Structure formats: structure tokens, C-alpha cells
Amino acid sequence: MADSDDEPITLSSHALAALQDFYGERDAHAQKFEKLKAAAEEQHESGQPLSMEAFTEDWNESQFWYSDETATLLAKQLVDGIREDEVVAVVSAPSVFVALKNLLNSKDAPSPKPKKVYLLEHDQRFAVFPEFVFYDFQQPLKLPVDLKGSVDRIICDPPFLSEDCQTKAALTVRWMSRPRSQLIVCTGERMEPLVTKLYQSFGAQTTTYEPRHARGLSNEFYCYANFECEEWRFQGEKKKGT
């Protein structure tokens, strides 16, 4: 009797086609990643500002980049008055991260600079940056252990306007924040009751600033924070003054 283990393994034409497609997509992804990495390195070495143009928005990932003006404004608030021993985390807001990179590498960079900057992001394209940490809000605490209780300044833009996503993102923020961390949360206006509840322990409130997106967005967006600055006041304070 012939040993069936000695028979060569054969694949159907459909299986072969699917396998070829898989390898083709993998190779294309690798080539695209290398191009993005090379472009980022070239811009960094030449001193040119980084641009989000290399990173096309993926609406299936709920990606809507901020306008350059908004991204820069938020980045500046993250490092305004920062100390050299403070750590910054940008959660699901890569356009703010790129603006922050540009700010820290510019001639107008704040002094001192933060001790460390992290980008927590689901999109693997941003792994071209050494600050990248893969982040899936469905697993809010699956993060490097050294992040726990170590972050002084945080901006978070949960990718989806759902209670589940907002709650899990808040769990991540609470897990990695230090006592009295400075916090900015940007998300939809209709999330206001939930957001102010989730971040009540931080003292976060709705502010007067309205973030803008590069391609526009039908959902009205709010900026929530636990501090006031030149760019915004708490909405409650604005109402008192009117």
C-alpha cells in the first residue's frame, strides 16, 4: 500500500490564485511601507516639515485628518510650558503627532523638549516613526508595561463615535496617565455627556474650541480638556460671561 504522506501536495487553481494574490498584496504593502519610511527619513534629514499627504485617509478606519492649523494648534498646547522630564502620548490622532514632530524639530521648538513622545495608533503605516506603538481600542490595556502611569500630557481622538469605543479609549487614558495629567480629548459633539462623565476625575470640560478637519466632517466636533489656555476657555465660563 502506498504511503499517502509521500504524495505531493497539490493546490486547486483557485487556491493558487488566492495565494498569489496574498503574496502580491504582502509585497505591495512592504514596498509602500519602505517608500513611506524613506520619505519620512528624507524629510527629517533635510529639515523639511513632515506632511500627512503621504498618508491617505482610510474612511473604513474612520480616519479624518485635522487641518494643518488645527493639528498645529493642538500640538502646541501639548507642549506649552512642558518640562524635560514629562512624557507626551498622542492617541489615535496621527495628524497631531506629525504636527508635533514638526514643531519639535523646528527652530521654534519649545525648550526644554519632552522626555518622550508616543504615538498610539492602529494604522501600521505610522510604524515608520520610532515613536509608534500599535494600539487597538478593543484591547485598551494591551500596551507596553512601561506606559502604565507614566504619561503627563495626553491627547485622545477615539476613532469611532460609539459608547464602546469612547469608554475603552478612556480606559487607556486612565491606565497610562500620571496624577494631574494634562488632557485633551477631541470627538463628536453628541459624545459630550459621555465624555465629560468618563473624564470627570480629570476635571475635563467642554471647551470653546472647535477642531477643523482637512476635508471637512459632517459631525460637529468638540474639544474637551482639563485646562484653559489662550486658544480656549471652558464653555461654562463663556456662558457665564454672556
Convert the pLDDT of each residue in 124-178 to its tens digit. Answer: 999 999 999 999 999 999 999 999 999 999 999 999 999 999 999 999 999 999 9
Residue 1 pLDDT exceeds 50 = no
Q: How confident is the model at residue 50 (pLDDT cuts 50, 70, 90)?
A: confident
Supply the pLDDT for residue 25: 59
Work out the average pLDDT over 24-38: 59
Comparing CA positions, the residue from 134, 140, 91, 85 lying closest to residue 113 is 85
Q: How confident is the model at residue 26 (pLDDT cuts 50, 70, 90)?
A: low
